[in-house]
Structure 1
Amino acid sequence: MEACNVVRMRVRPGFEAEFLAFNDPGHPDIPGMLDAWLVQTGERDFCYVARWVSRDALVAGRGPMVAELDQMRHMLEDLGPGLGVTDPASGEIVSRKRTPVVPFRGEATGVGVASELGR
């Protein structure tokens, strides 16, 4: 069964450009990793999301992921008591919604979606 991990982090003020440059080429290939994304969720907040062929592959990939984290640890802000610089979560994917691609021409406000669907 496929698995996913999500790691929340916050970049220290003044390190945004360095952080984005470090992550620009993407992450190194790790056996069993299917996809990976870096999602900006706030001004300096990010989530790293990866999809794996299995939970075992995810567990085996933790070493390389931590090694990569160690290279950017100085750029990250402590998230608070007991967390350190990351807030990770992982598990097996138990549900997936697959939808057909619907053309979208509107902005983030959703303008254009209803007209695309004939509503």
Structure 2
Amino acid sequence: MLKFISWILFLVIALVIAALSIANRETVTFSLDPLPFAFDLPLFGLLLAAGFIGLIIGSVVTWLRGHGVRHENRVHKREVEELKGRNMALTRDLEEARARGSNGPTPDALAPPITDKPQIEHHTGP
């Protein structure tokens, strides 16, 4: 369904661009005043070029602003991989202890203490 909607949206945009191009075929002079550059081109070409340049600049600015989020994502991915490795090692140690048949250390004894989580106290009385 989403692909169908994107094709419809693409078709509408293409029709708008075609109508813009047909209605604005007059030639205009584009010049950068202090510089000696001047171009005669159709108005629709100038409008489409301005839109394309705006799209490129907006994309670059958005990409640059996302740097912090991408960096944080990489840090979190590394942390998850490290924690997965620790989890696998602890699971392996627990299975080895069970295979030896000893009542050995409990899973709580194998795991390092978690210090960054606050302790929750339960009160049952008034």
Interval containing the TM-score (normalised by the shorter chain): under 0.3
TM norm structure 2: 0.21
TM-score for the superposition, normalised by structure 1? 0.21
Higher Cα radius of gyration:
2
Higher fraction of helix: 2
Report 1 or 2 for greater relative contact order, CA contacts < 8 Å, sequence distance ≥ 6: 1
